[in-house]
């Protein structure tokens, strides 16, 4: 394969990879919550916006909590490099690392202005875990996945 075709093929694969990430990131995911004072499991859902945010909807004891969820930090990395070889040859480029730990926050409220404040940690591949605390200081363990 000629160098031009190889570069074009790499560009196509890169574009397909970005498209897959955007489509998957915009998926709906299931959210499970369990208060620490009972064994009852509440089932809700989340919808990603494809840009590190989205919304969560969670029904708890007759109230429906909804609100924004946002990726607030991650361990992804980005850098530039340059390597030097013999006879003055050099190469430079950019590198980026994906798939590290992500930190996510959510602020949910119901129609009667009750609130849930949530902190999650995830793997960047659709799996989150953490806690939510309501206005009465009730703590919920939370798991979410696509």
Q: Any alpha helices (H) in the chain, and if so which ranges?
A: 3-25
What 3-state class would DSSP assign to 126?
Answer: coil
Q: Tell me the average pLDDT across 40-56.
A: 92
1-25 per-position pLDDT tens digit? 444 444 444 444 444 444 334 334 4
**Burial class (CB within 10 angstroms; exposed 0-12, middle 13-18, buried 19+) of 13:** exposed
Please check whether residue 116 is in contact with residue 105, taking contact to mean a CB–CB distance below 8 angstroms: no
CATH architecture of 27-145: Beta Barrel (2.40)
Q: Which residue has the higher pLDDT, 80 or 3?
A: 80
pLDDT category of residue 87 using cuts at 50, 70 and 90: confident
Domain ranges (residues) in the chain: 27-145
Which carries the bigger pLDDT value, residue 40 or residue 92? Answer: 40
Determine what percent of the chain is predicted with pLDDT higher than 90: 47
Indicate the average pLDDT of the chain. Answer: 80
Quickly state the pLDDT bin for 96 (edges 50, 70, 90). Answer: low
Q: What do you get for the CA distance between the two ends of the chain, in Å?
A: 39
């Amino acid at each position: 394969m000629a160098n031009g075709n190889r570069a074009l093929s790499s560009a196509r694969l890169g574009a397909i990879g970005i498209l897959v990430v955007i489509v998957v990131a915009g998926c709906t995911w299931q959210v499970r919550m369990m208060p620490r004072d009972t064994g009852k499991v509440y089932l809700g859902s989340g919808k990603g916006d494809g840009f590190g945010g989205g919304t969560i909807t969670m029904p708890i004891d007759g109230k429906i909590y909804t609100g924004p969820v946002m990726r607030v930090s991650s361990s992804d990395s980005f850098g530039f490099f340059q390597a030097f070889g013999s006879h003055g040859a050099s190469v430079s480029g950019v590198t980026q690392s994906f798939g590290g730990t992500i930190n996510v926050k959510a602020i949910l409220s119901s129609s009667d202005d009750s609130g849930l404040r949530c902190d999650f940690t995830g793997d960047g591949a659709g799996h989150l875990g953490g806690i939510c605390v309501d206005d009465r200081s009730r703590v919920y363990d939370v798991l979410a996945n696509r």
